[in-house]
Amino acid sequence: MNTTFKRFAAALVLVLMGTILTAKASAECGSYLPAHKAGAVVSPQSWSGAEFSSASLLLVSEDSNASIVGMWKATFTAEGNTGPGAPPDGAPIDSALVQWHSDGTEVMNSGRPPQDGNVCFGVWEKTGKFRYTLNHFGTGNDTANAPSGIGNPSGPTHLVEDVMVSRDGKHYAGTFTLDAYDPSNTLVAHIVGVITATRITVHTSVSSIF
């Protein structure tokens, strides 16, 4: 009788211990799962979810370079010039096709005749929110003393721009300073003015920019 009771008691203790251990294990898993879920936002599966999409949109909206990169139709107009021979306010200085590249370089196809040298280059950097500065150089020819139509080499032209892109990214405007030199690097012209530009897209028509 005593032997049977001892075996029953031992079996009962094992059952109770198993129940306690199972409950403990369940409690530990329960405390672990919420912590795992809390950290799940950094797991690879969540990268395609709403959290990652929102972060991506935020990064794009704060990408300052994206607002200037692209192709533009730019108009340069004299403003604020004084002295003998200075162009009056409103006088057109140039009308150009301009590309600002994501690597910080820029190229301009000026409205000047090709034989005068109408393609020139620059570098740019961000200076503020939606604001950029451009340092641009061009070399060209002087057709005034070239009856054949092929110009003689002329000195360099230095163009500096300070522009701001509109919040919708479709326009930019600002100021420019243009210094022209002769072949001996003597300054022969100094012009200041304003710039307005319109973005060119795959849907832009000729009539909308020319």
CB atoms within 10 A of CB 26: 10
Which pLDDT does position 144 carry in this prediction? 60
What length does the chain have?
210
Q: What is the mean pLDDT of residues 175-201?
A: 95
**Percentage of the chain lying above the pLDDT 70 cut:** 62
Which pLDDT does position 53 carry in this prediction? 35
Q: Is the pTM of this model over 0.85?
A: no
| Residue 132: pLDDT over 70 | yes
- How far CA 3 is from CA of 6, 7, 8, 87, in Å, comes to 5, 6, 9, 120
Instruction: State the DSSP string of 118-132.
Output: -EEEEEEEEEETTEE
Identify whether the C-beta of residue 65 lies closer than 8 Å to the C-beta of residue 132.
Answer: no
| Residue 48: pLDDT over 90 | no
Classify the C-alpha dihedral 172-158-147-114 as positive or negative.
negative
Give the model confidence (pLDDT) of 84-117 as tens digits: 999 999 999 999 999 999 999 999 999 987 777 7
